[in-house]
Amino acid sequence: MSRSHSNDALLLHRRQLLGAAVGAAVGSASAAIAGVSLAAEDSAAVRRLGPGPSPLGERSPFAEQARVPAMGIVSFTPHENLEGTITPSDLHFERHHGGIPALDPQSHELLLHGMVERPLKFSLTDIKRFPSVTRSCFIECSGNYFPFAGEESPPHLICGLTSQSEWTGVALSTLLREAGVKPGASWIIAEGGDAPLLNRSIPLAKALDDVLLVYAQNGEAIRPAQGYPMRLLVPGWEGNTNVKWLRRLEITDAPVMSRQETSKYTEPMRDGTIRQFSFEVDARSIITAPSYPATIAKGWQEIRGIAWSGRGKIQGVEVSTDGGKTWQPARMQGPVLSKSHTRFTLPWFWDGEATELQSRAIDETGYVQPTLRDIMKERGPGSGPYHFNPITGWLVRRDGELRFSPTG
C-alpha cells in the first residue's frame, strides 16, 4: 500500500516537472533544462513528495507492534514496546473462553431482568441514548504472571495481561434505575453472548458504585476481541468480571456460583481455605524499560514503568537499582488516575557493574506490592495463578544484557 502510494507520488512528480519545463522553456534550452532537472532527481538532496492522506493510519514500518499470542487462549500486550498509559486498542490483551463471537448490533440485545420492577431489553441504539460516561481504566486478567521463559522472560510474560483504555458507556446505576431494582436484591449476574455464555456474579453495591456498560474504547466502537458491541467495565476488579459481549444482566439476592467463580478465579490457601470473590486487583508495578531483551550502554538511562491498583490511585512507586538494598521514590507522571495504569520514571546512571533493578508500588490504601517470598509464605506455591503480583526485577549484566529476576 505505502509502496504504490510513493510510486504514484513519484510519477506525479515527474509529470509536473516535465510539464513545467515544456511550458516555460523554448527551443534547445528546454531539453537542457529538463535534462538537468531529471538528473538532479536521482540525487539524495531532492526531497520527494510522500504519500498523501488515506482512510486509515498505519504504523511506521520501522516501528511495528504486535501482541504475543500464547497457549491458544491469550495474547499479551507488549509493554516493553509501549510508552505512556493508554494501550493502543489493537494491542489490548486478549483472554477468551470460547473465541470471539460475531455479534451484529442490529440483532444483539441486552436483557435486564430478575429482581426488577420492569424487565427490559436494550439495543445498542437504546444504550447510546442514555447519558454517557467516559473514564480511563485498566483491565487486568487476574492470572497475569507467566514467566515461563525463565530469565529470558520479557515484560509481556510477566504482566502482559493488563491493558488500559479510555472507555465510554452508560453507568450501570442509570440502567438499574430505568428497570427499578426491587428491595432485597444484592447481586447481579452478568452473562456474555460468546459460545460458552460466560457468566460472573457481581455484588450490587459495586454495580451501583462505578460499574459501566461500555460501547466505546479509545474513542471508537469496542474492538470485537474486547467485547463488541458492549461489555461490562468493572473498575479495578479482576478481568474475568468485566464480561464481554454482554447479553444478559440478572438481578438476584445471591451469586449464581458459576464455574468461573468457583473452580476458577479462586485461590487455595495455606490456612486450609479456598478464597473466593477475590475481586480487587492488588497493587502492582513493573519496570518496562530497560528490560529483557534490551541491552544497555554505560551512562545515563531512564528507568520507566507502569504501576496500577484496583483499590484506587497509586500513591507512589519506589525503585531500587541495587537489588532491593536501598529504594528511592520514582517520578510519577500525572494526572494519577484511580484504577489506572500510572507511568513512573527515574533517571539512573549505570556504571557498568552488575546489579538488579526492581520496583514496588504503594497504593492509596497503604497496600505495598509484596515480594514473591511474602506471597508464598501467605498462600503457597500452588495457590496461583490468580492474583499473583510480586515485586520483580531485571538483572543487569556487565555486558549490558538484561535478564528477568523473579525473586524481588
Partner 1 sequence: MMKSALRQRDVGRLRQIARLLPALALITVALQPHAEDPTRFNLGTPASTEDIAAQDIDVSPDGHGLPGGGATVAQGKIIYDQACASCHGSEGQGASAAALAGGNRVPPDELAADRTIVHDVGNYWPYATTLFDYIRRAMPFDSAGSLSDDEVYASTAYVLYLNGLLDADSSLDATSLSAIAMPAARYYREDRRVSGGDL
Pick out residues in 334-363 that bind partner 1 (CB under 8 A): 363
CB of 266 to partner 1, least distance (A): 8
Q: By CB under 8 A, name the one of 120, 294, 332, 372 that touches partner 1.
A: 120
Q: By CB under 8 A, name the one of 18, 86, 197, 332 that touches partner 1.
A: 197
Residue 384 near partner 1 by CB under 8 A:
yes
Cell numbers found for residue 45: 538532496
Q: By CB under 8 A, name the one of 210, 227, 233, 355 that touches partner 1.
A: 210
- Beta bridge partner(s), residue 319: 328, 359
In whole angstroms, what is the distance from residue 21 CA to residue 221 CA? 50
List the interface residues with partner 1, window 283-322 (CB under 8 A).
311-312
Q: By CB under 8 A, name the one of 101, 178, 224, 403 that touches partner 1.
A: 178
Residues 255, 188, 176: CA angle, nearest 5 degrees: 160
Interstrand relation of 231-233 and 328-329 (parallel, antiparallel or unpaired): unpaired
Count residues near partner 1 (CB under 8 A). Answer: 82
List the interface residues with partner 1, window 22-81 (CB under 8 A).
none
CB of 230 to partner 1, least distance (A): 13
Strand, coil or helix: 292: coil
Q: By CB under 8 A, name the one of 5, 70, 86, 97 that touches partner 1.
A: 97
Q: By CB under 8 A, name the one of 253, 302, 322, 353 that touches partner 1.
A: 253
CB of 204 to partner 1, least distance (A): 6
Using an 8 Å Cβ cutoff, are 124 and 376 in contact?
no
Contact region for partner 1 (CB under 8 A) — 24-32, 219-227, 366-374, 399-407?
A: 366-374
Secondary structure (H, E, C), 339-405 = CCCEEEEEEEEECCCCEEEEEEEEECCCCECCCHHHHHHHCCHHHCCECCCCCCEEEECCCCEEEEE
CB of 57 to partner 1, least distance (A): 33
Residue 177 near partner 1 by CB under 8 A:
yes
List the interface residues with partner 1, window 263-282 (CB under 8 A).
263, 266-280, 282
CB of 368 to partner 1, least distance (A): 7
**Cis peptide leading into 385, omega within 30 of 0?**
yes
Which CB sits closer to partner 1, 48 or 118? 118
Which CB sits closer to partner 1, 59 or 270? 270
CA dihedral sign, ordered 226, 232, 236, 239: negative
In whole angstroms, what is the distance from residue 404 CA to residue 311 CA? 27
End-to-end CA distance of the chain: 47
Which CB sits closer to partner 1, 2 or 365? 365
Residue 118 near partner 1 by CB under 8 A:
yes
Residue 196 near partner 1 by CB under 8 A:
yes
In whole angstroms, what is the distance from residue 400 CA to residue 354 CA? 8
Q: Which of 312, 311, 340, 307 is nearest to 139 (CA)?
A: 340
